Amino acid sequence: MSATINSPIQSDCEVISNRRVGAYQHLTLAAPGISERVRPGNFVAISVGDSRSSMLLRRSFAIYQSTSRGPFGGTIEIIVAPHGAGSTWISQRAPHDRLNVVGPLGNAFKIPKDPVRALLVGGGYGSAPLFPLAEILRQKNSRVEMAVGASTAERIFAPVEGKRSVHSLAIATEDGSIGVAGRVTDLFDNSLSNIDIVYACGPMGMLKALTAIGERAGVTVACAVEESMACGVGLCMTCVLPVKDKTGVIKMVRSCVEGPIFDGDAVQWDGIGTIPPGTYGAPR
């Protein structure tokens, strides 16, 4: 399930605010021209470092929230988990600094025309792009349940906002510091009763496990995959993964252009990082 967007633009965006939220940094950027095009599931690619930087590849971040009006002419919000040199550099930007941003990129979550019973599943800060999706689904009179998981309580993103955004919220942490002790997929006990569709964003292992649960329950799982997307526009080919098309042919597709939203049952989870036998164009 996917939905296309308008052509992205490149812009130097001013940092309006940068604040700590648990284990993450929450950045708000002035992004007129980008913000009004955003749909749930889209992402942006941000240049790292200054003109002297050796970090040539952009870093991609899902868009948490966007506004098309206001004193800054439109804003976008991203959640950054400081990890490597690039994400750490971005997480340290101060108000009035500028970041070179390309967006919005990728496809978007497809919204059903009629009310549904939806389950939104997020891992760590992967839950961030699910909040605007929840808002749209509720506006269409859908029942929205959310389940979020992480290693510790500090890595559960915005649990209070989650409770306000959906009809029910379940939390799991691997260390048991908040919610149920275990992984977020443990919350479903291998079943998806009374659910019409699942939307998920988080680590690939979580998406794979959710897809298997969905297949057993006969429920579609729309997955926002976490692949390294360096350019964001389909040129560098660093984010390819094997996906089966509607005719049953496995093809290596670009997460940043054809994705990042895929039907989970189309992704060849066990073949990620390889070219599975029988893939279109592969040597025989």
- CA 92 to CA 229: how far, in whole Å? 21
- CA 100 to CA 84: how far, in whole Å? 19
- Residue pair 120/130 in contact (Cβ under 8 Å)? The answer is yes
Instruction: Please report the DSSP string for the chain in residue order.
Output: --B--PPPEEEEEEEEEEEEETTEEEEEEE-TTTGGG--TT-EEEE--S-TT-S--S-EEEEEEEEES-STTS-EEEEEE---SHHHHHHHT--TT-EEEEEEEES-BPPPPSS--EEEEEEEGGGGTTHHHHHHHHHHTT-EEEEEEEESSGGGS--HHHHHHHSSEEEEEETT-SSSEES-GGGGGTT--TT-SEEEEES-HHHHHHHHHHHHHHT-EEEEE-----SSSSSSS-TTEEEEE-TTS-EEEEETTTT-SEEEGGGB-GGGTTS--TT-TT---
> Which of these, 18, 177, 14, 36, lies nearest to 98 by C-alpha position?
14
Structure tokens at 80: 């950054």
Sign of CA dihedral 177, 179, 184, 187: positive
Q: What is the pLDDT of residue 190?
A: 64
**Angle 174-178-181 from CA coordinates, rounded to 5°:** 35
pLDDT in tens, the chain (284 residues): 445 456 899 999 999 999 999 999 999 999 999 999 999 999 999 999 876 676 778 999 999 999 988 788 899 999 999 988 999 999 999 999 999 999 999 999 999 999 999 999 999 999 999 999 999 999 999 999 999 999 999 999 987 777 788 999 999 999 999 999 999 999 986 678 889 999 999 999 999 999 999 999 999 999 999 888 888 888 888 899 999 999 999 999 999 999 999 999 999 999 999 999 989 988 77
Domains of the chain: 9-105 (2.40.30.10), 117-271 (3.40.50.80)
Token match 């648990």: residue? Answer: 22
Q: Is the pTM of this model over 0.75?
A: yes
> Which of these, 179, 152, 176, lies nearest to 168 by C-alpha position?
179
Q: What is the pLDDT of residue 4?
A: 47
